[in-house]
Structure 1
Amino acid sequence: MEESQKIRLGISIGDINGIGCEVVLKTFEDARMLDFCTPVIFASNKTITQQKNDLGIDLTFNGVRDASQAVEGKINIVSVWKEVPQIEYGQATKEGGAYAIQSLKAAVQALKEGTIDVLVTAPINKNNIQAEDFKFPGHTDFLAQELKGESLMFMVADSLRVGLLTDHIAVKDVAQAITPKLIRNKVVTMEKSLKMDFGIRRPKIALLGINPHSGDNGTIGEEDDKILKPTIQELFNKGTLVYGPYSADSFFGSNTHKNFDAILAAYHDQGLIPFKTLSFGKGVNYTAGLDKVRTSPDHGTAYEIAGKGQADESSFKEAVFTAIQVFRNRTEYLELTKNPLQKQKTRRAS
Structure 2
Amino acid sequence: MAKKGENVIMGISIGDLNGIGAEVLLKTFEDARMLDMCTPVIFANVKVLSFIKKTFNLECALHGIDSLDQLVVGKINVLNVWREGVNIDFGKNNPEVGKYAIKSFTEAVAALKEKQIDVLVTAPINKYNIQSDEFKFPGHTDYLDQELGGDALMFMVQDNLRVGLLTDHIPVNEVSAHLTEALIRKKILTINTSLKKDFKINGPKIAILGVNPHSGDNGVIGKEDDTIVKPALKKLFEEGVRVFGPFSADSFFGSGQYEKYDAIIAAYHDQGLIPFKTLSFGNGVNYTAGLEGIRTSPDHGTGYDIAGKGEADHNSFKEAVYLALDVYHNRAEYDNLTSNPLKIREKQEESKKYS
Bucket of the pairwise TM-score, normalised by the shorter protein: over 0.9
Question: 1 CA distance for matches of 2:5 and 2:114?
Answer: 20
SS in 1 for 2:305: helix
Question: 1 CA distance for matches of 2:13 and 2:275?
Answer: 28
Question: 1 CA distance for matches of 2:341 and 2:302?
Answer: 45
Deviations 1:162-210 (A, max 9, x none): 0000000000000110100000000000000000000001000000000
Question: 1 CA distance for matches of 2:151 and 2:298?
Answer: 21
Aligned to 2:327: 326
Shift of the alpha carbon at 1:49?
Answer: 0.6
Aligned to 1:348: none
Deviations 1:254-300 (A, max 9, x none): 00101100000000000000000000000000000000100000000
Aligned to 2:265: 264
Aligned to 2:290: 289
SS in 2 for 1:300: coil
Aligned to 2:315: 314
Aligned to 1:336: 337
Amino acid at match of 2:216: G
Segment drifting more, 3-12 vs 201-210 = 3-12
1:91 matched to 2:92? The reply is yes
Aligned to 2:352: none
Which runs of 5 or more structure 1 residues have no equivalent in the other structure?
346-350
Shift of the alpha carbon at 1:19?
Answer: 0.3
Question: 2 CA distance for matches of 1:211 and 1:49?
Answer: 50
CA gap 1:236/1:68 in 2 versus in 1, 3 angstroms: farther
SS in 2 for 1:303: coil
Aligned to 1:104: 105
Percent identity of equivalent pairs:
61
SS in 2 for 1:233: helix
Deviations 1:88-124 (A, max 9, x none): 1000101111000000011101101111100000000
Question: 2 CA distance for matches of 1:307 and 1:113?
Answer: 35
Give RMSD over aligned pairs.
1.1
Aligned to 2:229: 228
Question: 2 CA distance for matches of 1:143 and 1:277?
Answer: 27
1:53 matched to 2:64? The reply is no
Shift of the alpha carbon at 1:146?
Answer: 0.6
Question: 1 CA distance for matches of 2:51 and 2:230?
Answer: 55
| Mapping 1:202-213, distance limit 5 Å | 202-213=203-214
After TM superposition, the score normalised by the length of structure 2 is 0.95
Shift of the alpha carbon at 1:344?
Answer: 7.2
Q: Please say if residues 45 and 63 of structure 1, whose CA atoms lie closer than 8 Å, have aligned partners that are also in contact.
A: yes
Shift of the alpha carbon at 1:65?
Answer: 2.1
Which runs of 5 or more structure 2 residues have no equivalent in the other structure?
347-355
After TM superposition, the score normalised by the length of structure 1 is 0.97
Q: Please say if residues 68 and 116 of structure 1, whose CA atoms lie closer than 8 Å, have aligned partners that are also in contact.
A: no
Question: 2 CA distance for matches of 1:78 and 1:218?
Answer: 56
**Equivalent residue pairs, number:** 345
Amino acid at match of 2:181: P
CA gap 1:265/1:344 in 2 versus in 1, 3 angstroms: closer
1:304 matched to 2:312? The reply is no
Aligned to 2:216: 215
